[in-house]
Each structure stands twice: as structure tokens, then as C-alpha cells.
Chain A
Amino acid sequence: MAEFTMPSLGADMDKGTLQEWLVQPGELVRKGDPVAVIETAKSSIEVECFATGRMGELLIEPGTTVPVGTPLALIEPAAEGAGKPEKAEEKPPVRPAPAPVSAPPAAQDRGHVEAGPLVRHLAERTGVDLAAVQGSGHGGRLTRTDVEQAAAATTAAGQARVRATPLARRLAAERGVDLAAVTGTGRDSAIRAADVRKAAPGPTAAGPRHLTVPVRPSHPPEDRTAARRQAIAGLMTRANRDIPHYYLSTTIDMAPAMGWLHEHNRRSPVAERILPAALLLKAAALAAREVPELNGFWTDDHYTAGEGVHLGVAVSLRRGGLVAPALHDADTLELRQLMNGLKDLVARARTGRLRSSEVSDPTITVTNLGDQGVETVFGVIYPPQVALVGFGRIVDRPCAVDGLLGVRPVVTATLSADHRATDGAVGAHYLTAVDHLLHTPEQL
């Protein structure tokens, strides 16, 4: 049995609150599956499983706050040679008593389903398990209608909507009440504020929580904002105290990059257009691959290079504060993928649903304050990282081009780096690499 412990989701985290289990004991999990929601001072994070196996006992109930490293659950790792559980059924049936895994369940009736390609396509699209559908066609053959009905049934069951008034929903969210468990006394059994108050008398009077009741945010939003501010304060104080920063800055001619971007966007449908920020991020990521001395961590008085370039992207939050989750392997992403990844990351950062790997993984961070109107930003490094790259606004400036005066779009790129890990020459190498990369945008 392996222990699934409270992870450290950033250098500033020493404890966390288990908010919700996303899995049940006995359920098969794969490496990377989200298994629990952890609430930190900063936000709610979906924590991914580190191993493939079967969930054992859940040791901690939702609502409990424990130090980093405390075992939360047991995981029975997949038996060697028992076949890759990844190939098991996609939706394993929940079995009350997990008997020893015998024959690989993949071999079941799959092959015997009589269905044409149209039906299979439809099933795939609607997420219907064909093996579970009774065929009504000739010789038990599955028809299109069978799949459509099955899909409609699943959707209806899955979306059985709780009837609740807007105020009741707001109160439930504030008090961490699951509306599905509340009986409504309003018209047509609608849940009203009084019903929620009965279920949870007040934010302070929260009684013992049960495993079956998913607990939503236990902090009211204003507490969360204050806690996030404190977490940032602690981390930034530590960074400024412990890290001897050095700062470099260079002005980069963006004419080739903007020209290329303009041309690309002109040819692309709106949804596929790329923002200048994506180019800057891609260049920062590729340069980090080129200068690995800046892409990693300073821990216990020595430097460890990161595995892959996971670009932390500073995202300011609407209620104040910021997070810097990672765009994984940003150096290998196509610009389109990077753009989509960025959109997704920003949206989830602002709704407070980041994944644990995104929070703990960044190997180098980029802050882009260009859209805020400033031209230069010298950032504070996120420990234990050793470098922070800053981009300002892209502005038109007069500059010397081939011995003549020209007006060119330029951007100021800065580097804040940890002098314990690198010296100015390495930093200069990095910024020069960013500059060169932005001169050949077609290769980004």
C-alpha cells in the first residue's frame, strides 16, 4: 500500500484543508487522475494521483486541515504484470468489496456488441457504453435510436437539476451546504433560504462533517482574499530576504514578430488568432531550454535543473492577489496549443480550480504586465525557482535601424535571477536568446 499524502503545492504551503474526495475506496485510479480537492490559503486545487492503482481507505474526512505530508488515503499500486490497468474499462463498475483483480476486465463482452459504424460513432460522441445498451434491432442489433435513448437517459439523470432560489444557492455556497441533500419546502419543492439555514445554521456553527457531504469552500470569499494576501506576503518576504536578486534588462525589436503575427492572424479565423503574449511566452520557454541554468530550483544550497520547461504564468486574480500556475512543457507546444493552454489556465486560475501539478511544477516564471500599460517590470522570484522573466507593453519607439532612424514596435524584457544559482553572464545569455528567438517568429 502506498500513502497518498497532503502535497506541498508551493513553497509557501505548510498545511492544507481536504475539501472533497473525487474518488471512492475501491475505485481504479490512473496516474494524473484528480482524486481530491485541497483548499490552500490561495485557492482550491484539484490534486492528481501520483500512481496508478486502486484507492484504499480514505483516512481523512473532508473539512479537515492537516500539515503537509500527512497521509490522506491509501493506494494499492497496480500489480506488476497484471496487465496495464490503463487498458481496463474506461468506467469501472463500482464494486462494494474489491475482490482480487482476476482476469483483465477488458476482455469482457466488448467484441460481441453488434453495432454499425454510425452507431459506434454516435456512442463515442455521446459517451454511451454500448455494452450496457439493450439492442432493439434485428437479432439484438444496436440501432441509432437505442443509443440516442441511452444518451438522453444519462443526460437526464446526470443533470437532474436542484430547484433552488438564487438566494438559497448563494447561502448554500457560502455555508458549504450541498443542495442535493436539502429538502425544499417552497413551491414545487424548491429549496429556499430557510431550508439552507436549517441545514447549516451558520457559517460558524458547522458541525462534524460527513464523508458523503462534499464540502465546498469553507472560507468565505473575503477570508480567502485575506489569506491569499498573507500567503503572498509570506512568500515574497522570504524571496526578498533569502534570494540575492540580480536584474538585467534589454529592449527587443518586435517588428519581425509583430509583422509575422499580423500576417498569421489575417489568414486565420478569429478563434485561431494568436496574441503577442503567446509569442513572448514561447520565446521565454525556448530560451529556458537553451539556458538550463535558469530553469530549475535552488533547494538545500544547491541547484537542481528542472525536468522540462514548465513555464509559470503570473495571473492576477479579480479579487486581488495572483497565482503563477505552470504551462507544462511550454517549450514543446505549438503556438496554437500554447494560446489555448494559456486561455484555459487563466480561466481556471480565476475560478479557483487549478491542478496540483500546475501549482507545484513551474520551473521558471513569466510575468507579463504589458496589458496593464507598464513598459518594464522587475519581478520578485518565486522560490524555490531561480529566475523570473518580465515583459512590458509593446510600444512604438524611435530607434536606430541599419544606421537610419525608424519607428519600431519594441518590448522591454527583463530578468530577475538568483545570484546564488547563476551569474550575470548566464542571465545575459538568456535574454539574448529571447531576443534572437523573437527575431525569427516563424520558428517559434
Chain B
Amino acid sequence: MGADGTEKSKTTYREAMREAIREALRSDDRVFLMGEDVGRYGGCFGVSLGLLEEFGPERIRDTPLSESTFVGAGIGAALAGMRPIVEIMTVNFSLLALDQILNNAATLLHMSGGQLPVPIVIRMTTGAGRQLAAQHSHSLEGWYAHIPGIRVLAPATIEDARHMLAPALADPDPVLIFEHGSLYNLSGELRPPTRPVDLDHAAIRRPGTDISLITYGGSLPKALAAADELAAEGVEAEVIDLRALRPLDDAAIAASVTRTHRAVVIDEAWRTGSLAAEVCARIAERSFYELDAPVERVCSAEVPIPYARRLEEAALPQTADIVAAAHRAVD
């Protein structure tokens, strides 16, 4: 118990996610976890460490290195009444399962005239910043957010890592959860949720009046750091964490821009055809007459993400870039 009487505990994003999976496995026999190295190795990022020992190989299943196969198997299990959690090691490899996700998971309810819901949850790591080079540094969640028929989540806080999984499993439709690789070691205190965690709404992570910093996932800590710097300079930035990339919380975006009249959209994906582009378009559609400056975007350089540390840092959105963009809009 904390000093204020609420239950608090020091934890990490990784542990919070593991706790969420553990809770799901305990509370529902239909839930099982499946993916590459999730069992004996404990997950490529250590999320499922210890779960094999606790729940056994029936429910923590190591799969062959074939994303199309095990995502397809997960879809089949969901159709047959199970509640699979399928872990794809990273978004980079999810392209091998894109056909299963796009052509099966996202469409079967429609193609069957409403008879075949696909209650699958697919988790994967996304993003760059850990010197993994071009083939292992993609941020393709915006591509998935393009697809009707699935829900796309991007937990960016320990709370969301801990509490988004249960409602995702309860959703009768496919849900994709994107965990940014740089967030796993994020540590902090976890409070029990004060209200039910929903999957539809963006969150104001810091209120402000002068400019909206709209972001999600791995860019949230950078945006919050930028807001701190801006506050020191007298600019009160509001930080919006989108949380759900599909459906987008249009109302929250519009409400924030109505308060601040300026916006910077931060997205680690490439700028062209990105989720940031979609957010900008919605601002133009819904909040045009509120804008007092052109909308700014901070995205990754349009290059394959470099391996060299300095070059990688230069290619990705950084706090200084966000601060500079905010100044362009405000000054």
C-alpha cells in the first residue's frame, strides 16, 4: 500500500505486460500464448519469461519460424472458440503473416455474413532505436491502422501495458497490439486503474494550452520530454497519446486542437503515407478553422534506418526535433 492508501508497486512495462498475460491465462481457460521462442526462451524480449513453467506447454506454445503458419493457426483457433494471444517477434516479420491478418482475420466476419468473428490478439514489437539496422527497425503499425476489421493498439505507458490486454481479448474482433521495443525497460509505479480501461479513447498525458503534441507508442516519452523543455521556455504543450491507432479518437484530437490551435504530430514511421499524415488530414478536415499555424510533423527520415548509432539517432524523431517543430508553430 502506498502512502495515499492506494495499491502501488514498482514495475516495468515488460513485467506489466507479462502480468497481463498471466492474468488472462488464469482467468480464462480458452486463452493461450503462441509464438516464436515464447516458451523455453521466455520470449525474444523476455515478456513471457517463466510462463511456460507456470502454465505448461499446452498453453505456452513455441512455434516454428513461420509467421504465416502460426498466425493462421491462431486465427483458426479463434474461429474454433479459443482466445489466442499470438506473439510475432517484431513487426518486421509480421509481413510474412500479412496475408493472414489482412485477408483472413480482418475479413472473415464480413465474408461470413457475421457468422465468423475472429477474437484473436496479435502482439508484436515495433520501432527502432536499438541499433538493429534497417531490416529490424520498421514502424509499420500505421500500415495496419489502414485496415478496417481490426483494432490497432499502441500501449505507451505501464498502465496501458498492464490493462489493455483484457479488453483486447474481450473484443470479438482481431486486435493488434504494438509494443515499442524501447518501452520494455520503462519502469515506474503501477496504480490500479481508477476507471475501466477503454480501447477507444486517446489520453491527455499532460494538459497544456499553447500547442498539441500528438503522438503514440515509443514517441510518447520523447514528446513528454519535449513538453518539459517547452514549459521551461514558457510554452505550455498538451501531450496527446493516441493509444488506439484504429479507430482514431477524432474527437480527442479535435478537442485538443480547439484548445491550443496548433499541433505537432510525432510518429516514428516515415512521413509519406503515415499515420501522422492521417492525423494531419483529420485535423484539416475537422479543425481547419481552429488552426493558427500550419500543422507540423516530426517523423523518421525517409531512409532505411541506419545501423550506426549517430546516424540512427539522426534519422529518428528526437526531443530536440519536437521542440524545434513546436517553436516553428508557436513563435
A residues touching B (Cβ–Cβ < 8 Å)? 165-170, 186-187, 192-194
Contacts and interface: CB of A to CB of B under 8 A. Distances in A.
Contacts of A166: 288-292
B283 to A, nearest CB: 11
Contacts of A187: 293-294, 328
B243 interface: no
Contacts of B290: 166-167
Nearest to A171: B292
Given A165-B293, A167-B292, A187-B294, 20 more contacts: A165-B291, A165-B292, A166-B288, A166-B289, A166-B290, A166-B291, A166-B292, A167-B261, A167-B289, A167-B290, A167-B291, A168-B292, A169-B289, A170-B289, A186-B293, A192-B292, A192-B293, A193-B261, A193-B292, A194-B292
Nearest to B257: A167
A165 B289 CA distance: 8
Contacts of B289: 166-167, 169-170
B265 to A, nearest CB: 17
A165 B261 CA distance: 10
Nearest to A190: B293
A166 B290 CA distance: 7
A168 B288 CA distance: 11
Contacts of B288: 166
22 contacts: A165-B291, A165-B292, A165-B293, A166-B288, A166-B289, A166-B291, A167-B261, A167-B289, A167-B290, A167-B291, A167-B292, A168-B292, A169-B289, A170-B289, A186-B293, A187-B293, A187-B294, A192-B292, A192-B293, A193-B261, A193-B292, A194-B292
Interface string B277-306: 000000000001111111000000000000
Q: Which of B288, B290, B292, B328 has the most CB of A within 10 A?
A: B292
Contacts of A186: 293
Interface of B: 261, 288-294, 328
A165 B328 CA distance: 14
A255 B292 CA distance: 57
Contacts of A192: 292-293
Contacts of B328: 187
Q: Which of A166, A192, A194 has the most CB of B within 10 A?
A: A166
- What are the 5 A-B residue pairs with the smallest beta carbon separation, nearest first? A167-B292, A193-B292, A165-B292, A170-B289, A166-B289
B25 to A, nearest CB: 51
B130 to A, nearest CB: 36
A168 B294 CA distance: 12
Nearest to B288: A166
Contacts of B294: 187
A169 B288 CA distance: 11
Nearest to A192: B292
Contacts of B291: 165-167
Nearest to B293: A165
A191 B263 CA distance: 17
Contacts of A169: 289
Contacts of A194: 292
Nearest to A193: B292
A186 B292 CA distance: 9
A166 B294 CA distance: 10
B26 to A, nearest CB: 52
A177 to B, nearest CB: 15
A187 B289 CA distance: 18
A274 B274 CA distance: 47
A188 to B, nearest CB: 11
Contacts of A193: 261, 292
A167 B261 CA distance: 8
A187 B329 CA distance: 9
A169 to B, nearest CB: 8
Nearest to B284: A166
A167 B259 CA distance: 12
A170 B289 CA distance: 7
A101 to B, nearest CB: 48
A194 B210 CA distance: 12
A382 B41 CA distance: 86
A194 B261 CA distance: 11
B328 to A, nearest CB: 7
Q: Which of A167, A186, A192 has the most CB of B within 10 A?
A: A167
A169 B291 CA distance: 10
B290 to A, nearest CB: 6
A186 B327 CA distance: 11
A14 B292 CA distance: 40
Contacts of B292: 165-168, 192-194
Contacts of B261: 167, 193
